[in-house]
Structure 1
Amino acid sequence: MIDQGVTAALAAHDATRNGDDSHTSRTGVRRTERVARECTYQDFMKYQPVYFKGTKGVVELTQWFERMETVFHISNCFMDNQIKFSTCTLLADALTWWNSHVRIVGQDVVYAMTWTDLRKKMTDKYYLRNKIKKLKVKLWNLKVKGTDVTRYNQQFQDLALLCVRMFPEESEKVERYVGGLPDMIQGSVVASKPKAMQEATEMASELMDKKINTVVERHAENKRMFENTSRNNQNQQRQENKRQNTGRAYTAGSGDKKLYAGSKPLCPKCNYNHNGLCTPKCYKCNKFGHLGQNCRSFECVNPGSNQRGNGTGQGPTCFECGVRDTSRRTAQN
């Protein structure tokens, strides 16, 4: 009886110590039991869930679903509070619709719903068939604009998420994605045989970046070549103009006479272009039209003339023009 009483006391003591996060009686290992703390509404809102107005259709609704499920996970929100907390983010038309539904079925019924039930009800409300059909057509005709593969990836993933039933298999989605890529990278992506969307998008982005870098480098090289060619042409033109200006200056400085452009022959006697005999020139006054013996000028304009008497008493004679100086004879008389 004593042994049974001691055994029972030890068992009770061990049970009490295990509940107090202590060591076990036999193994000596510390046993920790963590109890998850209940998520409050303030804890839930700290993770910034998005709001839903119901004005942008299926795209807005899909984004709201994804963000809400992420907040549920990281905030450790219990299933009993998921409907209460998530419906607090409804605004505008979506809030009006939800309040009407609550008045019809009652709060006990709506808050007893699961998150799956709420998703289905809101999908039936905002996933209109005609809009889904338009989105499917848009997804099927979606292609890369220019070289913006990043935007194409985002649009394709958003539309594929909305049109889940359009691609039952991952391979079908990859095939449609590759079909919208430009020809410059489509063949390389097909050759790599991607099996998942992530692999296909990463390959397409990497190939497009390489193509863009190649085009940029080629453009820069062509620009440098064009600038060098233009600079060389300018230097050649500048040197040619300099040579022409030098030739003009040399021609202008070598003689004051302008070249004769007429049809009259050059006279070897007077070195002028004319027809017939030379026009007579007076050696006394250096004028054309008369000879020295008929000159009426009283003084000889040739300062270099060597004057001397001829012994006749009639005055010296200019050896250049042949005219006697009669003024000296008059003075002697």
Structure 2
Amino acid sequence: MNPLKFDGSEGATALLERYQSMESTFLHIECPEDKTTRFASSVFGKRALTWWVQEKSTRGAEVAKALPWEELKGIMNEDFCPPNELMNLEVEFFNLKQVGSDKVTYTARLNELSILVPHLVTPLSRGISKYIQGLPRQIQDSVKAVLPKLFARRLSLLHPCLTTTLRREPSKATRRL
């Protein structure tokens, strides 16, 4: 399984596809967590490769290659998501609502956007609130009434950083509901 190449000029949505491709490859080849950035950087080309050479020069090659995958994605978001596209994604995020009973599409798009605009779902309580606000009004109260732990477990469908945050600080996340 080969991950999609990344040249750094495709925009935010293509960047998200590269992340998904890379994470799928990590799982498939059982890539150790401490090697994910080394492996991910092997598919950089053109502008992305030039950027990576500069990152290694600035940080030191070994430090750059040892960056955790989530941190590398954050740095890449800053450098490869044009500000106007990022602003459009933020607007889409704020306006995102579930249409009808299609919770799968709503949850999937919220997940995608949370990867590209993680500051809008951090801390976890903010992500949970956004999820609930996007649900149809008639079910928001029902969802809020569900035990917070049960609801938080269901959020594992959302962005992995939300799940990671939940594991680190469950009491803070659930208290704010």
How far 1:135 moved relative to its partner?
A: 1.5
Instruction: Give the letter for the 1:159 counterpart.
Output: L
Asked if residue 132 in structure 1 is aligned to residue 82 in structure 2, the reply is: no
Residue-by-residue CA offset, 1:136-173 (whole Å, 9 max, x unaligned): 22111110122211100101111112211123222221
Counterpart of 1:181 in 2: which secondary structure? coil
Instruction: Give the letter for the 1:50 counterpart.
Output: L
Alignment of 1:26-45 (within 5 A): none
Q: Aligned pair count?
A: 148
Asked if residue 97 in structure 1 is aligned to residue 52 in structure 2, the reply is: no
Alignment of 1:135-150 (within 5 A): 135-150=89-104
Alignment of 1:251-270 (within 5 A): none
**Stretches of structure 2 lacking an aligned partner (at least 5 in a row):** 158-177
Q: 2:130 aligns with which of 170, 173, 176?
A: 176
With normalisation by structure 1, the TM-score equals 0.36
- Aligned equivalent of 1:114: 65
Q: 2:154 aligns with which of 199, 202, 214?
A: 199
- Aligned equivalent of 2:11: 57
Asked if residue 71 in structure 1 is aligned to residue 25 in structure 2, the reply is: yes
Mapped contact 1:178–1:200 kept (Cα < 8 A): no
- Distance in 2, matches of 1:184 and 1:68, equals 38
- Distance in 2, matches of 1:99 and 1:201, equals 33
Residues 148, 62 of structure 1: alpha-carbon distance in 2 compared, 3 angstrom cutoff: same
- Aligned equivalent of 1:164: 118
- Distance in 1, matches of 2:21 and 2:34, equals 16
Counterpart of 2:79 in 1: which secondary structure? helix
Mapped contact 1:54–1:60 kept (Cα < 8 A): no
With normalisation by structure 2, the TM-score equals 0.61
- Distance in 1, matches of 2:126 and 2:144, equals 13
Alignment of 1:180-191 (within 5 A): 180-191=134-145
Counterpart of 2:90 in 1: which secondary structure? helix
Once the two structures are overlaid, the 10-residue window that deviates more, 130-139 or 47-56, is: 47-56
**RMSD across aligned positions (CA):** 3.7
Q: Which of the pair has more CA radius of gyration?
A: 1
How far 1:119 moved relative to its partner?
A: 4.7
Residues 177, 122 of structure 1: alpha-carbon distance in 2 compared, 3 angstrom cutoff: closer
Mapped contact 1:82–1:115 kept (Cα < 8 A): yes
**Stretches of structure 1 lacking an aligned partner (at least 5 in a row):** 1-46, 203-333
Alignment of 1:188-267 (within 5 A): 188-195=142-149, 196-199=151-154
Q: Which has the larger helix fraction?
A: 2
Q: Which has the higher contact order (CA 8 A, sep 6+)?
A: 2
